[in-house]
Amino acid sequence: MFVLNCKGRPLVVDKPLVMGVINITPDSFYPGSRRSGVDNVLRMAEQMLNEGADIIDIGGQSTRPGSELLSADEELNRILSSLEAIHKNFPDSFISIDTFHSKVAGIAVEAGACIVNDISGGNMDENMTSVVAALKVPFVLMHMQGVPQTMQINPHYENVVQEIFDFFRQKITSIHHTGVKDVIIDPGFGFGKTIRHNFELLQHLQVFQKLNCPVMAGLSRKSFVYKTLRMGSEQALTGTIVMNTIALMNGADILRVHDVKEAVQTVRLFQSYIQK
């Protein structure tokens, strides 16, 4: 069990949690996750919370392969009013801000977010981890080889599981030294990995439990799922459910998903299966 300090509020991870994704961008890889306008975002957040989401993850920056990066101000312009509306209407909800800009992280946490989710693990903004430490919120440390523009151009590892494990071990130590207390690790499925790399990481996901941090799996409708099934992201829900089930069986603590209802049901069945 883990207890994460979210601006003074405990987020207890004593069973697998579900993080629902809302992309306030026209450029996200999965069209079904895209929302624009405060009312539309608010309706989606309400639906996710009603379906059992433990965390709502808000992002204004598309990070699909080859995506164009936004400035911090452009990102804030996209997400801030919607984030404020969610916090106002659902003050007890746990909101994660998906950003690699420390400026966005700081302003978003002031507006109601209580988790910072950084695809770059602090590598794209040198101030990120010190800002997160000052904010006193958990930090989602994700692994990515390269940057979104280049990450899927021939990604290479000698041993993908070992190299990412070593990355986390070193990075967790340096992050703790900056004052960040709570770290969630995310192997970064689809971020600088081939299809084979993703399956190897999923197969050995339990290895990352040795780092004594909650493990998050972001498998939802990823390209390695729908390409394996020879279909598009819109048809990849069944594949996502299968991948999430395997992730839970291999030790995932948090599922980051586009389809909350199905993920919550998957967790419920998994919990019933493992009960002794």
Best CA proximity match to 100, nearest among 149, 53, 38, 54: 149
- Output the pLDDT for position 199: 97
Q: Which alpha helices (H) appear in the chain, and where do they start and end?
A: 38-50, 72-89, 102-111, 128-135, 160-178, 195-203, 223-228, 237-249, 260-274
Indicate the fold that domain 2-274 takes in CATH.
TIM Barrel (3.20.20)
- Output the pLDDT for position 113: 98
Is 222 in the active site? yes
> 162 to each of 126, 201, 271, how far by Cα in Å?
25, 10, 29
Which SS3 state, helix, strand or coil, does residue 159 take?
coil
- Output the pLDDT for position 145: 84
Is 15 in the active site? no
- Output the pLDDT for position 65: 64
Q: How far apart are CA 248 and CA 270, in angstroms?
A: 7
What are the backbone angles phi and psi of residue 186, rounded to the nearest 5°? Answer: -135, 115
DSSP state of 70: P
Q: How far apart are CA 4 and CA 208, in angstroms?
A: 18
Of 7, 222, 227, 261, the catalytic one is 222
CA angle 202, 118, 133 (to 5 degrees): 120
- Output the pLDDT for position 68: 75
- Output the pLDDT for position 169: 97
CA dihedral 99, 104, 105, 111 (to 10 degrees): -120
Q: How far apart are CA 58 and CA 114, in angstroms?
A: 11
Asked if residue 191 lies in contact with residue 232, where contact means CB atoms within 8 angstroms, the answer is: no
- In sequence order, which residues have a C-beta less than 8 Å from that of residue 211 and are 6 or more positions away? 165, 168, 169, 172, 185
Q: Which amino acid type is present at position 242?
A: V
Of 256, 261, 268, 276, the catalytic one is 256
**From first to last of its 276 residues, what are the pLDDT tens digits of the chain?**
999 999 999 999 999 999 999 998 776 545 554 556 788 999 999 999 999 999 999 999 877 666 678 899 999 999 999 999 999 999 999 999 999 999 999 999 999 999 999 999 999 999 999 999 999 999 999 999 866 656 566 778 999 999 999 999 999 999 999 999 999 999 999 998 999 999 999 999 999 999 999 999 999 999 999 999 999 989 999 999 999 999 999 999 999 999 999 999 999 999 999 986
CA angle 175, 178, 182 (to 5 degrees): 55
pTM of the shown model: 0.93
Q: How far apart are CA 266 and CA 237, in angstroms?
A: 12
